[in-house]
Each structure stands twice: as C-alpha cells, then as structure tokens.
Amino acid sequence: MTTARNRYNKRISLALRTALVLSAGVVIFSLAFAIFFVLIRGLPHISSELFATDYSRKNQSVLPALWNTAQIVLLALFFAVPTATGAALFCCEYTTRRWCGVLCAVSDTIASLPSVVFGLFGMTLFCVTCGLGYSLMSGALTVSLMLFPIIFDSVKRGIESLPSEQRAGALALGSGKTALIIRIVVPHCARYLVSGCSLAVSRVLAESAALLFTSGTAPGYAAPDAAGRTLAVHIYCLAAEGASIDKAYACAALLLILSGGFSLAARLIKSGTVRNRQKE
C-alpha cells in the first residue's frame, strides 16, 4: 500500500470518526435533554395539592386519573393475560407447526397496527355496536387487544426456552399433557409472563390515542361502566386546554417515571431469567 493511499485512508477515517462521535453525541444529548427537561419542569410541581382527593376546575388533581388508569390496567390485564397465555400454550404445546405459524402471524400483524386504529376499531365495536358507550370497560377491552401480542410473544418465548430434557423427563414419568403444562411449563414461564405483563403495563400507561375515544375524557373518579380519563389522556387534555401547563408537566414527569420504570422492570426480569438459565 502506498503512503498516499494510506494518508487518504487515514483522512477518511478521521472524518468518519468525527461523524460517528458527533451523531452519537447528538442522539444521546437530545434524548437526555428531552427527559431532563420534562423532569426538571415537572418534578417541582409535584405537591400535595396535585394529590388532593377532590378534582376541581381550579386544582386539577391527578388522583382520579391515577385511579382510572389503575382500573384500566387491571381490567386490560384481566382480559389479555389468560387469553394470550392460553393461545401461546396452544401454539407451543398442542398444535402443528403450521397453525402455530398462523397464530404467530396474527400476533405479528396486530403488533404492527398503529394505536389509533385500535382506538377507531374499539370505538365502533365496543362503544357503538356493543353499547358500552364511552367507558373504562370499552377502553380496557380496546387496550387488551393491543396487549395480546406482547404477552403472547413473551410467554411463547418462555415456553420455547424450556429445556427439552424436562419435558421428556415429565413424559417418561408418565405425566399427561395437563400435568406437564401445570407442573413444568407454566412455572417455567412465570417470569416471562411477569416480564410481559410489566411491559404491557408500561404500554397501557403510555397509551393515549386508543383511549381518547373509547374511555372518554371525563375528569373525576369513574366506575368501570362510566367514562374517565387515564393519566396520559389527562396530560393531553391539560396540554390542549393550555391553562395549567405546570400541572401537565408534573403529570408528565410522573408518567415518565412510571412507564419507564415498568419497562425497565420488564427488561431486568427477563435478563435475570436468561442469566439463571445460563448458570444451570
């Protein structure tokens, strides 16, 4: 290699290095800026006033929104977890590879749909056709549709990671399919299921587009059959009104911490599982 070419090579690589470092700097700086901006603007406004038990025009308390969010999360998990777990078990334990492929394709398709589409679908199906109206129930049903693929995927991964020796051992000891599933497969998948649920919770917390027109925007505490806004929708409404932007930032900081925490927890639980398996 000639020296001239070497020099050329070096110059290019210097330029490339600058480009790489610069772009990494831009990405990390801007994301960190966005997060810290929201936290710094929001955290000082988290006060006892924000958690007042009564919601009023003057003081938009966050407690009703939190209460509604908790209800929607629990209801959505209640609908999604058994169905998706059952489907994953069917997919991995009972059926042929072709039907398993069909189920996986369905779940992938659902995972790729935008959340607005779920909102529109949920509104026409649950609010109008089923007559539930704007209510937490129809919001939870809509969101549980979005959670199917998340839970299905994580449980399926758990089942697939079960060592085949355990399965063979159980069968050799004369267990039937049911005993195999209840005693061996489900305990093995428990951590994957919890990690999937944690991810699902962070997804529900973050959801606004699908809930705006299914669970409504009514402030205040709501029963499952009444309209009520979740935390994300609450932020959207506060920002749209524009009157109490400080409250919106306080809620945003709260939501940021909650949903980031749940998604990190999902990651930690899952990676813990992986490490344990390697040790075995």
Partner 1 sequence: MKICVYLPHKAATSFPRLSKFTAEASPPAPKPRRVPSGARRGEREGLALGRAPRTGSALRGGRAQTEHRFSSVGERLMYGTVLACAVAFASVCAAVPVNLAKSSAKLFDKYGAANVIFGREWSPVESLFGLLPMLISTVYLAALTAVISFPVGVCCALWIYRYCSEKTKSALRGALSAVAAIPSVVFGLFGLSVVMPTMEKMGLNGHSAVSASVLLSLMTMPTLVMLCLDALESVKPEMYEAARSLGVEKEYAAVTVELLCAKKDIAAACSVSCARAVAEATAVLMISGNQTTFPTSPLNGVRTLAEHILLECGYASGEHRMALMTAALLLCVMSGALCVLKIPLERKQRR
Cα 181 to its chain centre, rounded Å, is 27
Q: How far is the CB of 4 from partner 1 (least distance, A)?
A: 15
Q: Closest CB to partner 1 among 74 and 184?
A: 184
Least spacing, CB of residue 237 vs partner 1, in Å: 10
From residue 189, how far is each of 159, 167, 197, 252, 278 by CA, in Å?
A: 6, 13, 12, 34, 16
Three-class DSSP labels, the chain: CCHHHHHHHHHHHHHHHHHHHHHHHHHHHHHHHHHHHHHHHHHHHCCCCCCCCCCCCCCCCCHHHHHHHHHHHHHHHHHHHHHHHHHHHHHHHHCCHHHHHHHHHHHHHHHHCCHHHHHHHHHHHHHHHCCCCCCHHHHHHHHHHHHHHHHHHHHHHHHHCCCHHHHHHHHHCCCCHHHHHHHHHHHHHHHHHHHHHHHHHHHHHHCCHHHHCCCCCCCCCCCCCCCCCCHHHHHHHHHHHCCCHHHHHHHHHHHHHHHHHHHHHHHHHHHHHHHHHHHC
Name the residue nearer to partner 1 (CB basis): 23 or 276. 23
Output the smallest distance, CB 220 to partner 1, in A: 19
CB 75, min distance to partner 1, A: 15
CB of 243 to partner 1, least distance (A): 14
Per the listing, tokens 């007559």 go with 131
Q: Cβ closer to partner 1: 63 or 265? A: 265
Between 137 and 232, name the residue whose CB sits nearer to partner 1.
232
DSSP annotation of 208 reads -
Give the nearer residue to partner 1 in terms of CB position, either 203 or 224.
Answer: 203
Question: Smallest gap, in angstroms, from Cβ of residue 234 to partner 1?
Answer: 9
Q: How far is the CB of 187 from partner 1 (least distance, A)?
A: 16
**Residue 54 or 179: which CB sits closer to partner 1?**
179
Between 240 and 243, CB nearer to partner 1? 240
